């Protein structure tokens, strides 16, 4: 069981991205091919399956968080490509493990403060016990009282995978 709450792209944002992405480009859905299989979908945090109707859109997770919180990330605001289902898929069903937790995969765990500035980060090679590895990385991140938000990204492409926010109450 995970100790932290994983946040995919929220439904209201997905609705907007399915019209126009964060770079202002229209959403262009297509049917996933074998080449797309296994890539992460950020709407439901599952791997793409061939034949699914998907879209590759530009997404600015920190910008959207900052707009909701009043933070001003300045130059730390960035956008990048993410896959989403082209139609509503029902979203993420929280589970007993973190998404995209293949042992050996490399992730960056990037920390942000309340202003939306990068407050450090670390490389995580997902261990044989992925949940314990992610929990330890998040414990370390939120051990810094200034850290309010963590983005998990793929090391190879820097793609945003999911977000974790500081728990509202201390963990046991």
Take residue 47 and report the two structure tokens written for it: 């791997």
Take residue 32 and report the two structure tokens written for it: 């996933």
Asked if 48 and 34 touch (Cβ cutoff 8 Å), the reply is no
Domain residue limits at 128: 106-165
The answer on 111 and 152 residing in a single domain is: yes
Flag whether 19 is in a domain.
yes
Q: Report pLDDT digits (tens) over 99-113.
A: 999 999 999 999 999
Flag whether 74 is in a domain.
yes
The C-alpha atoms of residue 149 and residue 104 are separated, in whole angstroms, by 24
Take residue 75 and report the two structure tokens written for it: 């130059």
Q: Report pLDDT digits (tens) over 35-45.
A: 999 999 999 99
Q: Report pLDDT digits (tens) over 50-60.
A: 999 999 999 99
Q: What is the pTM of this model?
A: 0.92
Q: What is the pLDDT of residue 98?
A: 95
Flag whether 124 is in a domain.
yes
Flag whether 39 is in a domain.
yes
Number of domains in the chain: 2
Flag whether 170 is in a domain.
no
The answer on 121 and 81 residing in a single domain is: no
Span 25-46, mean pLDDT?
96
Asked if 167 and 149 touch (Cβ cutoff 8 Å), the reply is no
Take residue 66 and report the two structure tokens written for it: 């900052």
């Amino acid at each position: 069981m995970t100790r932290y709450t994983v946040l995919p792209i929220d439904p209201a944002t997905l609705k907007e991205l399915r019209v126009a992405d964060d770079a202002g480009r229209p959403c262009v859905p297509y049917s996933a091919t074998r080449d797309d299989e296994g890539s992460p979908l950020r709407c439901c945090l599952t791997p793409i399956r061939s034949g699914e109707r998907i879209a590759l859109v530009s997404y600015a997770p920190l910008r959207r968080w900052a707009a909701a919180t009043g933070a001003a990330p300045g130059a730390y605001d960035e956008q990048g490509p993410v896959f989403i289902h082209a139609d509503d898929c029902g979203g993420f069903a929280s589970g007993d493990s973190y998404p995209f937790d293949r042992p050996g995969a490399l992730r960056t765990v990037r920390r942000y403060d309340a202003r939306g500035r990068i407050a450090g980060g670390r490389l995580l090679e997902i261990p044989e016990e992925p949940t314990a590895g992610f929990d330890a990385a998040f414990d370390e991140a939120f051990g810094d009282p200034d850290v309010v938000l963590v983005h998990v990204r793929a090391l190879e492409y820097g793609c945003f995978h999911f977000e974790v926010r500081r728990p509202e109450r201390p963990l046991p």
